[in-house]
Amino acid sequence: MTGDDVRVRSAAPPDVVRGAHDAVARAVARLRTGGQRVTPPRRAVVEVLAAADEHLTADDVSARIDAVLPGVNRATVYRTLETLADLGVVTHVHVGHGATVHHLAGEAVGEDHLHAHCRRCGRVVDVPGDLLDAVRGRLVQELGFHLEPQHVALSGTCAVCSPSRAHRVPSGET
């Protein structure tokens, strides 16, 4: 959308990617130290994620890249996302019904938060990162189960769609 050169070499900051530059630089560095090649499509994926204000599906990423570096294939985006996940640069969250959204991992962009998904409007809400700490402890002790709270979104109904006051955006059930 905001036309900008994604192939920026790491000097000469454009204007949209602004604050996310360190994140991009760090991600690229981690690619290198991980023995991976730094290619335009990969750089684009990182930059799109860094510039995103929300969590993106693979197709979201694909679409945004297309606006800036046309011709990058869906499969490449998926593969890149996977590579970046292996390196710990990117995290994905499974959201109830559809999607599976991606974002730069932890420290990179936002702080440490978890996700909750509204069954009614589909919105993904950020919730406190420590929300499940007690639960995690209990699961390890009682069942030996090691919880990874970031990996799936909690499910329910958000404040806006709350049962009490019926509200907006009715869409498919999750």
Partner DNA sequence: GGACATCTGCGACGGAGTCGCAAGAGGTTG
Partner DNA sequence: CAACCTCTTGCGACTCCGTCGCAGATGTCC
SS (H, E, C) 49-98: HHHCCCCEEHHHHHHHHHCCCCCCCHHHHHHHHHHHHHCCCEEEEECCCC
- Out of 54, 155, 169, 171, the only residue in the binding site for a copy of itself (CB under 8 A) is 155
Q: Nearest 5°: CA angle at 38, between 79 and 33?
A: 100
Residue 151 binds which entry of DNA, a copy of itself, none, CB below 5-8 Å type-dependent: a copy of itself
Residue 80 binds which entry of DNA, a copy of itself, none, CB below 5-8 Å type-dependent: DNA
Residue 153 binds a copy of itself, judged by CB under 8 A: yes
Q: Which two tokens stand for residue 24?
A: 């991009």
Residue 98 binds DNA, judged by CB under 7 A: yes
Collect all residues with Cβ–Cβ distance below 8 Å to 102 and sequence separation of at least 6. Answer: 49, 55, 56, 57, 58, 61, 81, 90, 91, 92, 93
- Out of 70, 111, 148, 166, the only residue in the binding site for a copy of itself (CB under 8 A) is 148
For residue 129, give the nearest of 100, 108, 106, 146 by alpha carbon: 106
**In the complex, minimum distance from the CB of residue 159 to DNA, in angstroms, rounded to a whole number:** 25
- Out of 13, 19, 40, 128, the only residue in the binding site for DNA (CB under 7 A) is 40
**In the complex, minimum distance from the CB of residue 91 to DNA, in angstroms, rounded to a whole number:** 13
Q: Nearest 5°: CA angle at 30, between 91 and 59?
A: 40
Per CB under 8 A, residues contacting a copy of itself are 94, 96-97, 116-119, 125, 127-128, 131-132, 134-135, 138-139, 142-149, 151-159, 162-163, 174
Per CB under 7 A, residues contacting DNA are 32, 35-42, 57-59, 71-76, 78-80, 82-83, 98-100, 172
